[in-house]
Amino acid sequence: MEKTIQPKSQKPKKVNRFTKDLPLYALMIPGLLYLLLNNYLPMFGLSFAFKKINYSVGIFKSPWVGFDNFKYLFQTKDAFIIFRNTLLYNLAFIVLGTVLAIVVAILLSQVRAKSLRVYQTSILLPFLLSSAVISYLAFAFLSVDNGFINNSILEPLGMKDISWYSSPQYWPVILTVIYLWKSFGYSSILYYATLVGIDDSYYEAAVIDGASTWQQIKHITLPCLKTTIITLVVIHLGRMFYSDFGLFYQVPMNNGLLYNTTNTIDTYVYRGLLQLNDIGRSSAAGFMQSILGFILVMGANIITRKVDKDSALF
């Protein structure tokens, strides 16, 4: 009988994991380069906040001044005004913007599918407009001579024309209304995306139990939106010490009569940079805003974790 020779079992070749995943690493390179160039390389500029920049000797040889640049924001006579305006405006924007966006998102969820895109496009359009365009639209409404409010509303009612650009008491309301009009569309779509994911069986069961529309919103819609609301609010808290530069600089048209109610940290530093050309002080302001925003985000997240761990960012 002939012996059959069985072939030896070949051991599987070990595949190098790096070689196997090389295409994935290649796809990751553009994103890493963008992250490096756009986010990490500019961090070199943080050193400007601690220097007195002298163009004659260069950035590297400019003298260190420690925290002297940071004193600029606190020792100025306008320190209370710029911090007050920045914080109060942002607080109003967060509270009113969140409420308005949720209300609009709930209304969108009740709209028929055919007309939904029209409404979404209409409310999102202001968010896509530049600050320059918005400033001209505001001027068309608020102009003393040819403004829509004075000519078409106040005069027919027999009321005296208002010089809006020389009356600072009106601008907290004006700026808040313009901000809400510009931003609520984008935020409402984010909330609407969450509403779409809610199971319809919850509402069907509520209707069977005789729940009213308000009870459905209170006991189903808002609890399902809780995580999204907390996430967006915490993100906005990180920018509590920042302001929309175009809103506070271009819309009031840099009018000195309105500084008491329109001057914020960003606009004050910009004007100081134009007048003094001091990069160190402007860098210190940006660095301080980032640190304070980081502290607010961390603090809000810690509080959220203690109240509802599942709703925290991390």
What's the CA gap between 190 and 37, in Å, rounded?
Answer: 29
Q: Rounded CA gap, 212 and 193, in Å?
A: 23
Tally Cβ neighbours within 10 Å of residue 85: 24
Q: Helix and strand tally (H, E) in the chain?
A: 15, 0
Nearest Cα neighbor of 171 from 108, 88, 240, 114 is 88
Instruction: Report how far Cα 96 is from the mean position of its chain's Cα atoms.
Output: 14
| pLDDT in single tens digits along all 314 residues of the chain | 455 555 555 556 665 777 778 888 888 999 999 999 888 888 888 888 888 888 888 878 888 888 888 887 777 778 888 889 999 999 999 999 999 999 999 988 887 777 778 888 888 899 989 989 999 999 999 998 888 998 888 888 888 889 999 999 999 999 999 999 999 888 899 899 889 888 888 888 998 988 888 899 888 999 999 888 988 888 888 888 888 899 999 999 988 899 999 999 889 888 878 877 778 888 888 888 888 888 988 888 888 888 777 777 77
Q: How far is the C-alpha of 107 from the C-alpha of 102, rounded, in Å? A: 9
| 120: nearest Cα among 199, 186, 51, 42 | 186
At residue 182, the pLDDT reads 93
Please give the distance of CA 179 from its chain centroid, rounded to a whole number.
11
Rg of the chain over Cα atoms, rounded to whole angstroms, equals 28
Stated pTM of the model: 0.82
Domains of the chain, residue spans: 68-311
pLDDT of res. 292: 87
Long-range contacts of 121-126 (CB under 8 A, 24+ apart): 122/185, 123/184, 123/185, 123/188, 123/189, 124/185, 124/186, 124/189, 125/185, 126/181, 126/182, 126/183, 126/185
> Cα-flanking dihedrals φ and ψ of residue 64, to 5°?
-80, 140
| Partner residues linked to 51 by β-bridges | 64
- H-type alpha helices, 197-221: 200-208, 213-216
User: CATH says 68-311 is which class?
Assistant: mainly alpha
The Cβ of residue 80 has, within 10 Å, a number of other Cβ atoms equal to: 10
Per-residue pLDDT at 11: 58
Report the candidate in 103, 48, 108 with the shortest Cα–Cα distance to residue 281: 48
The pair phi, psi for residue 276, each rounded to 5°, is -100, -20
List CB contacts of 224: < 8 A, sequence separation 6 or more: 194, 195, 198
